[in-house]
Chains A and B, each alone.
Chain A
Amino acid sequence: MFRQSDIFVAMIVGLLGFAPASLAAPAAPQTMSAGDVLRGQFVQTRQLQGFAKPLKSEGSFVLVPGRGLIWHSEKPFDNTAIITAGGILQLAKGREAMRLSASKLPGLAQLYNVLSAALSGNTGPLQQTFTVTQTSGNDGWKVELKPLDSGKQAMSQIKRLVLTGTRYVDAVEVERTGGDVDRIAFSGHKVAKADLTPGEVAQLKAAAK
Chain B
Amino acid sequence: MLALFALFGTLPAWIGAIGLYPYLGVEIMVWIIFGLGFNLLLGYGGLPSFGHGAFFGVGAYAFGLAQFNVHPNLWLCLGAAMLAGGVAGALVALFISHRRGIYYALLTIAFGQIFWFVAVKWHSVTRGEDGLLNIKRPPWLDDLTSLYIFCFAVFALAVVLLWRLVHSPFGRVLSAIRQNETRARFVGYNVWLYKWLAFTISALVAGLAGGLFALAQQSAYPNVMSLQQSGFVVMMTLVGGGLVSFWGPVLGAVLFFVARDLLGAYTEAWLLWYGLLFMLVVLFKPEGLAGLLRKDVRSHAPA
Is B truly associated with A? Answer: no
Interface residues of A (CB under 8 A from B): none
Interface residues of B (CB under 8 A from A): none
